[in-house]
Amino acid sequence: MEQPAVPGRTGPEDRPTVLLTGGSGVLGVALRQRLAGHRVHCLTHRAELVAPPGGRLRTVRGDVRQPRFGLGDREYAALVTEVDAVVHAAAVTDFGVADGRLEATNVGGVRTVLDFAAAAGARLHHVSTAFIDSASRSGLTKAGLRYAESKRAGEELVRGSGVPYVLTRPSIVIGDSRTGEAARFQGLFRVAGAIADRLVPVVPFAADWRCDFLPRDLVADLVVGLLERGRPGEELWLTAGGRALTVAQILEEFVGAARAAGRDPIRPRCLSADVYQRLIAPVFLPALPPRQRRLVEGMFDNFAPYIGSSEPLPTSLPELAGRGLPEPPDLTEALRASLDYWSATVLGRPARASGGVA
């Protein structure tokens, strides 16, 4: 049975008032746009956020790492009274962070949000990650796993809280499926840049490994759609699943984007994790210039746990399509749109004259 509307609300105002965390992040920007029909309190410790056209957005200066978001008694109490649902998307996703911020945000921040949701009697829509089982999928224990472990710990807190929740697990989030626009460029695009600069002779991933990603607009549509169509206690995989592209397919797009931008990239050679660990790491890498060595080592340490399998991730997208929520676009075209936007922003010119997906 689908979640009922907020009690006591009728007509066009039956949409819940939402507290959004992480509204300036890669996914958060799209969430702000998709929440334009709701009244939104956007918690941020950064600059004032601009409401989307027609939106009703208020910036709340606060921090999920602090008790009661660091707000004064009166402001916190007012927020508790007004909010019906919390969309918690704030997270540290930088795998290299070693100063405690990752755990403080991804675990401690969940506790703070749960305390608020309990006080407000609000349902929590918690954004986790599709890579919580990275260690078991790849058989590797690398630096990048700290992120997965922190998100898994956050999920456990949500389950044990007694707060009604819907938990979503997105895979890698790229730019908008049509425009390619992104708040910032994360790991995949760093690899694309290194390929454009001829810095990556080998990629420590097998060619048939899958790299699961979805465009940010689709993920935002699904998360916001679940405000009305979510079922309490469900845990949903927002992934491409069997539609995910392989490493070989993605490298082909990276090389094509670099060439279209006037670069002369070298197509990296794909290696299995076993070959990389036994032969390349001890013999070949020490002979590379330091920058190239760090790039290849960083790719393996940070990304192998997340794309280290030819098996697809589980996906809930067919089930959600049955509830009337959107299905994924053509993922190759979505990636090209993101590469076009990245190329225009970073390489200084569009990767394709068409500007990507129309």
Query: Which of the residue ranges 15-24, 181-190, 312-321, 342-351 has the most confident prediction, judged by mean pLDDT?
Result: 312-321
**What residues have CB less than 8 Å from 321, skipping those under 6 apart?**
327
Judge contact between 241 and 317, C-beta under 8 A. yes
Task: Look over the chain and give the mean of its residue pLDDT values, rounded to a whole number.
Answer: 86
Q: Which of 355, 120, 339, 170 is nearest to 249 (CA)?
A: 339
Do the domain assignments include residue 131?
Answer: yes
Determine the pLDDT at residue 60.
93
Determine the pLDDT at residue 14.
67
Domain that holds residue 34: 11-185+213-242+312-328
pLDDT band with cut points at 50, 70 and 90 for residue 99: confident
Do the domain assignments include residue 118?
Answer: yes
Determine the pLDDT at residue 205.
87
Q: Helix 145-159 and helix 290-307: axis angle, to 10°?
A: 30
Asked if residue 351 has pLDDT above 90, the reply is no
Determine the pLDDT at residue 47.
65
Pairing of strands 245-246, 210-211: antiparallel
Model pLDDT for residues 168-184, shown as the tens digit of each residue:
999 999 999 999 999 88
Do the domain assignments include residue 61?
Answer: yes
Do the domain assignments include residue 199?
Answer: no
Q: How many structural domains are present in the chain? A: 1
Q: How many CB atoms lie within 10 A of CB 114?
A: 22
Q: Both tokens of residue 353?
A: 């004259």
CATH number of the domain to which 84 belongs: 3.40.50.720
Residue that is written with structure tokens 């626009």 in the block: 181
Pairing of strands 165-170, 172-174: unpaired
Do the domain assignments include residue 303?
Answer: no
Residue that is written with structure tokens 């309990």 in the block: 118
Mean pLDDT throughout 200-204?
86
Do the domain assignments include residue 301?
Answer: no
Mean pLDDT throughout 95-114?
87
Model pLDDT for residues 54-86, shown as the tens digit of each residue:
668 899 999 999 999 999 999 999 999 999 999
Model pLDDT for residues 255-289, shown as the tens digit of each residue:
999 999 999 998 999 988 788 888 888 888 888 88
Mean pLDDT throughout 222-239?
97
Model pLDDT for residues 293-319, shown as the tens digit of each residue:
888 887 777 777 778 788 899 999 999
Do the domain assignments include residue 322?
Answer: yes
Determine the pLDDT at residue 2.
38
Do the domain assignments include residue 283?
Answer: no
DSSP designation for 95: T
Judge contact between 204 and 271, C-beta under 8 A. yes
Percentage above 90 pLDDT, the chain: 61
pLDDT band with cut points at 50, 70 and 90 for residue 5: very low
Determine the pLDDT at residue 80.
97
Determine the pLDDT at residue 8.
32
Determine the pLDDT at residue 24.
87
